Amino acid sequence: MNKNRAVIFVISDSIGETAEQVAKAASAQYPECEIRIRWIPYVTEIESIQEVISEAKDLDSIIMFTLVVPELRKYLTEQAAMHNIICVDIMGPAVEAIAKVTGQHPTDIPGAARKLDDEYFSKIEAVEFAVKYDDCKDPRGIKKADLVLLGISRTSKTPLGMFLATKNLKVANIPLMPEVKPPKELFEISPKKIIGLVISTDQLNPIRLERLKSHGLSDQANYASKERIAYEHKYAEEIMNKIGCRIVDVTDKAIEETANTILQILKEAEQE
């Protein structure tokens, strides 16, 4: 284990501001260490926890969380213990202490204490937009979005969209697959609002293999083969070049690093 670096996964079934602030405050006590914080808000399903565990188990990682739903808390802590991942429940002990003293049961409602101000509503609106228009659930979101992310499967489109939503950007993301014609709306908006995401085949191959494993599928499936990935890459880059959008390589990059690159691209586009 590298004693000078760590990744903190901040998980919440709401927006996650409390756990994120705790993670930042704790990290500030270690200025000589390289500590990255990965923010995963609105976790309401076990599958989302499985994806975090799958990534965290291979890193020098810590999981900090504010999950009020008992079933999610239990599953997360059990899975973290199984993989020897340090797991910190930010809010649970305080909620349980109040329950013991008052004899009352908590409501288990995510985000019950948040200040409802304009900035909060703007952020929530952007996050809800990212959820609604994730994976091209509704192509009408393309024309409503501040930013559209394109890429083949497992190029970080969803986590990037969620992270950028915290910057008050309404983000839609579109998966590119050779068998599916891209939405016509992509060619009806400014390419300055579109970012194509690419990743190396060598990095994507194990990510897809892990995805298959988490779903109980064979690692021999065509989805994870390097030949299939190369084929998808070629198709996706043809579409991106036809659109004329900027392309960002996410290989070996943290979500925050890619997001900062995208924000800089958008800022430059506004100044043109």
| Tokens 């927006």 belong to residue | 15
Q: What is the mean pLDDT of each run of 10 residues along the chain (272 residues)?
A: 81 83 90 90 88 91 91 93 94 85 78 58 86 92 97 94 92 96 96 97 93 82 93 97 97 91 93 77
pLDDT of residue 5: 87
pLDDT at 218: 84
pTM: 0.64
pLDDT at 113: 53
Output the pLDDT for position 112.
Answer: 55
pLDDT at res. 56: 92
Q: 10 Å Cβ neighbour count for 139?
A: 15
User: Where in 183-245 does DSSP place strands (E)?
Assistant: 194-198
pLDDT at 252: 92
SS3 label, residue 109: coil
Which residue pairs, CB below 8 angstroms and at least 24 apart, start in 35-39? 35/5, 35/6, 35/7, 35/8, 36/6, 36/7, 36/8, 36/254, 36/256, 37/7, 37/8, 37/10, 37/256, 38/7, 38/8, 38/9, 38/10, 38/254, 38/255, 38/256, 39/10, 39/162, 39/163, 39/166
Residue 184 DSSP class: G
- Of 68, 54, 44, which is closest to residue 9 (Cα–Cα)? 54
